[in-house]
């Protein structure tokens, strides 16, 4: 077993957009670690990312790994995460596979990171990373909820190509080139024009008319807040922006909250940056949020259709690949290691 306090790491899905962003963030932060193993499907084996070779993911790949970031599809997590836990590995999973399991923490460190302080890492386990749109929204809304109580949330998302993965990002870029060349748009991934277009989020729609992304926001908010009484509805739309999601959020409060007090609360909230200049008409934009750790919050104004103080509108922008995915996972790992400095770095022996 590793005897140092620096855990051995692995990234599953290392060649995807989130995996690549996670690798970048690990190089930027002071999160010390031992070995780093990059894992992906057989078609990526033999390639490299930086100085690291890409290995094929198998049931034995995570033997000796203390912390594994899973950045692949839900079916990959369902297949390989239990095997990783059997090796004593702590899995931080980006997919939706385990988020709603009652015994698996769903964590945004700025909001409910305290659950990690009591997480038993001695025999491995799974921690779920929430949906990107939920993370971005909750960083802005939770400080207000804690102050006066949120009764109802109406969210409309404007989601970038980054949320659909590297292949969709490349297709949007290719359609820009196609347009400039006067050629028909390449439509191999989404099967529709993406440039100069927007459309309902490309996830399955249930019999209730809600798509999967909308249901994730609703259900995951309830779980993170431990409060099913909050009324939530969402409409998720894909827009032709390369990176960083935006959201228009309408809130109804249990108790009055002024615009001024909301600004004070948000200015002090971790992971939030105010961009709310009415005179200059400057508010959150995806181009400004790209590459930032913080979620930008602005357009803070009273909802005049509601009783004074009981309604507020916000507009937010957050980098889906960064805080909406990879950074949140690294922050989970940092807090977990801080709470269990020796345990996390000593249990992944592969001998369980």
Render pLDDT for 215-232 as a digit per residue (tens, 0 to 9): 999 999 999 999 999 999
pLDDT at residue 167 greater than cutoff 50: yes
Intervals of CATH 3.30.360.10 along the chain: 133-320
Would you name the residues annotated as active-site residues?
132, 245
Give the residue-averaged pLDDT of 55-70. Answer: 93
**Residue 348 near residue 87, CB atoms below 8 Å:** yes
pLDDT of the residue at 141: 98
pLDDT of the residue at 342: 56
- Comparing 209 with 349, the larger pLDDT belongs to 209
Of 19-33, 148-162, 292-306, 330-344, where does mean pLDDT reach its minimum?
330-344
Mean pLDDT over all residues of the chain? 93
pLDDT of the residue at 123: 85
Residue 350's pLDDT band (boundaries 50, 70, 90)? very low
Q: What are phi and psi of 285, to 5 degrees?
A: -135, 145
Residue 5's pLDDT band (boundaries 50, 70, 90)? low
| CATH code, residues 9-129+326-339 | 3.40.50.720
pLDDT of the residue at 352: 42
pLDDT above 90 as % of the chain: 84
**Residue 307 near residue 300, CB atoms below 8 Å:** no
In the numeric block, which tokens belong to residue 297? 């919050």
Intervals of CATH 3.40.50.720 along the chain: 9-129+326-339
What Rg, from alpha-carbon coordinates, does the chain have?
A: 21
Render pLDDT for 79-125 as a digit per residue (tens, 0 to 9): 999 999 999 999 999 999 999 999 999 999 999 999 999 898 888 99
Report the distance separating Cα 174 and Cα 18, nearest Å: 20
Tell me which H or E stretch contains 286: helix 286-289
Give the residue-averaged pLDDT of 244-265. Answer: 98
Give the residue-averaged pLDDT of 34-59. Answer: 82
HSE-CB at 125 with a 13 A cutoff on CA atoms is 18
In the numeric block, which tokens belong to residue 186? 């390449």
pLDDT at residue 345 greater than cutoff 60: no
Residue 174's pLDDT band (boundaries 50, 70, 90)? very high
pTM > 0.95: yes or no: no
The DSSP bridge pattern shows strands 245-253 and 311-318 to be antiparallel
pLDDT of the residue at 344: 60
pLDDT at residue 1 greater than cutoff 50: no
pLDDT at residue 4 greater than cutoff 50: no
* Nearest by Cα to 125 from 113, 133, 134, 116: 116
Query: Among positive and negative, which fits the CA dihedral 214, 217, 219, 222?
Result: negative
133-320 topology per CATH: Dihydrodipicolinate Reductase; domain 2 (3.30.360)
Render pLDDT for 193-202 as a digit per residue (tens, 0 to 9): 999 999 999 8
Q: Which residue has the tokens 């100069």?
A: 196
pLDDT of the residue at 148: 98
């Amino acid at each position: 077993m590793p005897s140092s306090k620096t855990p051995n790491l692995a990234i599953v899905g290392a060649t995807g957009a989130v995996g690549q962003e996670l690798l970048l963030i690990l190089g930027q932060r002071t999160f010390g670690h031992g070995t780093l193993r990059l894992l992906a499907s057989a078609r990526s084996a033999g390639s490299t990312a930086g100085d690291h070779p890409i290995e094929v993911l198998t049931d034995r790949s995570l033997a000796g790994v203390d912390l594994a970031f899973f950045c692949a599809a839900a079916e990959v997590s369902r297949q390989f995460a239990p095997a990783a836990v059997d090796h004593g590995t702590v899995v931080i999973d980006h997919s939706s596979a385990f988020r709603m399991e009652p015994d698996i923490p769903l964590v945004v460190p700025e909001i409910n990171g305290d659950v990690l302080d009591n997480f038993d890492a001695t025999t491995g386990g799974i921690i779920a990373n929430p949906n990107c749109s939920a993370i971005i929204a909750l960083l802005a809304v939770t400080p207000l909820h804690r102050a006066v109580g949120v009764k109802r949330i109406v969210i409309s998302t404007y989601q970038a190509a980054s949320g659909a993965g590297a292949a969709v990002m490349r297709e949007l870029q290719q359609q820009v080139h196609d347009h400039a060349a006067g050629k028909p748009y390449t439509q191999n991934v989404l099967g529709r024009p993406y440039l100069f277009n927007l459309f309902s989020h490309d996830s399955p729609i249930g019999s209730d008319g809600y798509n999967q992304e909308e249901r994730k926001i609703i259900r995951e908010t309830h779980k993170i807040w431990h409060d099913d009484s909050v009324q939530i509805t969402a409409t998720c739309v894909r827009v032709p922006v390369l990176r960083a999601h935006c959201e228009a959020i309408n809130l109804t409060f249990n108790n009055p909250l002024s615009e001024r007090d909301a600004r004070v609360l948000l200015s002090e909230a971790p992971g939030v940056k105010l961009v709310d200049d009415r005179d200059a008409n400057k508010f959150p934009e995806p181009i400004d949020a790209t590459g930032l750790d913080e979620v930008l919050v602005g357009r803070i104004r009273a909802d005049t259709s509601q009783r004074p103080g009981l309604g507020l509108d916000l507009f937010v922008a957050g980098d889906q690949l960064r805080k909406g995915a990879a950074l949140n996972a690294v922050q989970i790992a940092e807090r977990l290691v801080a709470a269990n400095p020796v345990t996390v770095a000593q249990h992944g022996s592969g001998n369980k």
